[in-house]
């Protein structure tokens, strides 16, 4: 049963509820759940992304954004953007403005290491992030949430620690996943990869503490649907995923000091204000958006205010069985793994990939196929670079000229190549190479070679009084990812209101907890 609070606020259910809920008819997307619901016959429904845009209050990615992207970077937008597989955003235009003006930002993405092997769906946000990093020439941090997966799994099992699900197991999965991620080709000079168990401490942990102080139990319940039986570890985890978006959590990457042992440096006790000027863009699948909604509401309330984090959000790669589910590592027939052999890929596609073709050859020739629900075509739309070939396949399938078997054969060929190339690189990623990405060190990046205004203002410097667009040296108004003056004022008012409300609700809350 979903908790009453979650029902009342329309919030995602608790982790425990989620398992049951995902079998019901409603679409449900949150960090613990991805399901389009089921129809009256019990069949899985495709995820309704337009509805999600409305429900989450995110913006659709438009042709305007693609044009602006091209203008700012001088490069053609990534195929996943061109095809609107990255389909929505928050403040993507602001990060482009900031980059054009001040020259740099930080990229951040992550992965929950729920098992030692990754499937092709897991590679999608990483492939995108890698190419975006190359286009902008900016630093990237990749977070592996071994702690989240440990806490989530144990919470799901009502506090019992199952075999193969200890903290150490998840750390091990994280290491295997990191090798996979490296094999996708990230530049070692500008990429820092960490697991929470290994890295969190120092300035990162101080940001975590402060962020935790900004989220009440009521708000966590509202955002994630946590209930009274959720462990406090899982409740608190979200703060870490949030502050990982702050460059000030990683002083070493930008040539500043942390204060941690072994060489505790008193001069580095304070967090570095300079770093809070650098904005962050997170490419991720839309199920992670609830975390970052909580984050964006609090960026400007940190001791060193940070600009609101920008997001670019993707759809999910469908399971082999077709629209309605996403690839799942726990169902090997739903997914193509990065460790699959060529004939496994072939058999899985041929046997399991949902087809948009007609019942008989005759009907197919006459009425044509439907690429929109065809899984082989869908995978090609993610992995095939050539726009013309893709359009040609689509058109010939619709007309009935191209048969399901032929579409599948093209898909098999493309995926076999993608996976085989990956495996060749993966074999070379040894322990030393992995550790070199995980070493907190100064990253090397250029950013925009010709920023119009190289000095970025601090969020705190321009809070309040500056007019929008005021041309005053390094202080810009409004265009740097923090919203306009009016927006900031409104945000402040809303915040005060929320605080007052929280104060008033306090006695009632405490009563309820007893």
Select 246 or 259, whichever has its Cβ closest to ligand TRP.
Answer: 246
Of 311, 308, 377, 266, the C-alpha closest to 89 is: 311
Token digits for 387? 């726009």
Which residues are CB-contacts of 109 (< 8 A; sequence separation ≥ 6)?
125, 126, 129, 140, 142, 143, 282, 283, 284
List, in sequence order, every residue forming a beta bridge with 90; answer none if it has no partner: 311
Question: Do the beta carbons of residue 145 and residue 236 sit within 8 Å?
Answer: no
Q: Is 148 in the site for ligand TRP (CB under 6 A)?
A: yes
Closest by CA position to 179, among listed 432, 3, 467: 432
Binders of ligand TRP among 323-382, rule CB under 6 A? Answer: none
Nearer to ligand TRP, 315 or 358 (CB): 315
Closer residue to ligand TRP in complex, CB, 248/462: 248
- Candidates 36-44, 75-83, 108-116, 248-256: pick the segment binding ligand TRP (CB under 6 A): 108-116
Structure tokens belonging to residue 509: 């809350």
- CA–CA dist 109, 129 (Å, integer): 8
- Residue where the block lists tokens 């770093």: 275
Strand extents, DSSP E, 295-388: 310-314, 318-319, 322-326
Identify any residues that bridge with 319 across adjacent strands, giving them in sequence order: 322
Of the residues 80, 284, 310, 320, which one makes contact with ligand TRP according to CB under 6 A: 284
Structure tokens at 76: 């053609």
Question: What DSSP line would sit under 40-101, residue for residue?
Answer: TTSPBPPP-HHHHHHHHTPEEP-HHHHHHHHHHHSSPPPHHHHTTSEEEEESHHHHHHHHHH
Closest distance to ligand TRP from the beta carbon of 112 (Å): 3
Contact 109, 140 (CB under 8 A): yes
Segment 232 to 251, residues that bind ligand TRP, using CB under 6 A: 241, 244
**From the CB of 142, what's the least distance to ligand TRP, in Å?**
8
The nearest distance, CB 304 to ligand TRP, in angstroms, is 21
Q: What is the rounded distance in angstroms from the CA atom of residue 196 to the CA atom of residue 236?
A: 13
> Does residue number 282 form part of the binding site for ligand TRP (CB under 6 A)?
yes
Closest distance of CB 282 from ligand TRP, Å: 5
Query: Would you count residue 143 as binding ligand TRP (CB under 6 A)?
Result: yes
CB of 145 or CB of 276, closer to ligand TRP: 145
> What mask, x for binding ligand TRP by CB under 6 A, covers residues 13 to 42?
------------------x-----------
Residue window 109-138: x/- pattern of binding to ligand TRP, with contact defined by CB under 6 A: xxxx--------------------------
Question: Of 226 and 397, which has the nearer Cβ to ligand TRP?
Answer: 226
# binding residues, ligand TRP (CB under 6 A): 13
103-111, 323-331, 365-373, 441-449 -> range binding ligand TRP (CB under 6 A):
103-111
> Is 145 near ligand TRP (CB under 6 A)?
yes
Stretch that binds ligand TRP, among 15-23, 140-148, 162-170, 459-467 (CB under 6 A): 140-148
- Our finding on whether 208 is near ligand TRP (CB under 6 A) is no
- The contact set with ligand TRP (CB under 6 A) reads 31, 109-112, 143, 145, 148, 241, 244, 282, 284, 288
């Amino acid at each position: 049963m979903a908790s009453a609070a979650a029902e009342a606020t329309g919030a995602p259910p608790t982790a425990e509820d989620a398992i049951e809920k995902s079998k019901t008819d409603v679409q449900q997307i949150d960090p613990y759940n991805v399901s389009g619901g089921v129809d009256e016959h019990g069949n899985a429904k495709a995820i309704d992304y337009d509805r999600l845009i409305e429900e989450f209050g995110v913006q659709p990615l438009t042709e305007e954004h693609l044009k602006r992207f091209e203008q700012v970077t001088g490069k053609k937008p990534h195929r996943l953007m061109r095809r609107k597989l990255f389909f929505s955003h928050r403040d993507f235009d602001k990060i482009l403005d900031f980059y054009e003006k001040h020259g740099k930002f930080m990229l951040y993405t992550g992965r929950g290491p729920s098992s030692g092997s990754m499937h092709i769906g897991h590679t999608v946000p990483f492939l995108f992030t890698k190419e975006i990093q190359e286009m902008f020439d900016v630093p990237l941090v990749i977070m592996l949430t071994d702690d989240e997966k440990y806490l989530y799994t144990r919470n799901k099992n009502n506090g019992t620690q199952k075999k193969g699900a200890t903290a150490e197991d998840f750390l091990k999965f994280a290491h295997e996943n990191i090798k996979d991620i490296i094999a996708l080709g990230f530049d070692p000079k500008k990429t820092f990869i960490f697991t929470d168990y290994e890295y969190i401490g120092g300035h990162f942990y101080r940001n975590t503490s402060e962020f935790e102080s900004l989220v009440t139990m009521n708000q966590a319940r509202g955002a994630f649907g946590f209930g009274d039986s959720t462990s406090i570890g899982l409740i608190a985890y979200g703060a870490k995923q949030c502050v990982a978006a702050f460059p000030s959590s990683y002083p070493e990457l930008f040539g500043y000091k942390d204060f941690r042992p072994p060489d505790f440096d008193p001069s580095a006790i304070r967090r570095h204000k300079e770093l809070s000027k650098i904005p962050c863009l997170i490419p991720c699948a839309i199920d992670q958006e609830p975390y970052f909604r909580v984050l964006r509401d609090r960026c400007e309330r940190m001791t060193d205010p940070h600009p609101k984090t920008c997001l670019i959000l993707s759809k999910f790669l469908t399971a082999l069985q077709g629209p309605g589910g996403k690839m799942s590592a726990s169902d090997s027939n739903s997914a193509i793994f990065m460790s699959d052999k060529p004939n496994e890929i072939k058999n899985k596609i041929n046997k399991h990939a949902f087809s948009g073709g007609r019942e008989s050859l005759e009907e197919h020739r006459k009425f044509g196929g439907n690429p929109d629900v065809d899984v082989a075509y869908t995978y090609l739309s993610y992995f095939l670079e050539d726009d013309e070939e893709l359009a040609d396949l689509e058109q010939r399938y619709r007309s009935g000229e191209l048969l399901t078997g032929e579409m599948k054969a093209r898909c098999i060929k493309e995926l076999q190549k993608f996976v085989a190339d990956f495996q060749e690189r993966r074999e070379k990623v040894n322990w030393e190479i992995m550790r070199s990405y995980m070493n907190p060190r100064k990253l090397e990046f250029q950013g925009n070679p010709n920023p119009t205004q190289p000095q970025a203002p601090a969020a705190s410097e321009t809070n309040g009084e500056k007019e929008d667009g005021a041309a005053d040296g390094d202080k810009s108004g409004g265009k740097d990812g923090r919203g306009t003056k009016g927006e900031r004022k409104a945000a402040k008012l809303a915040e005060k209101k929320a605080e007052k409300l929280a104060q008033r609700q306090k006695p009632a809350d405490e009563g309820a907890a007893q």
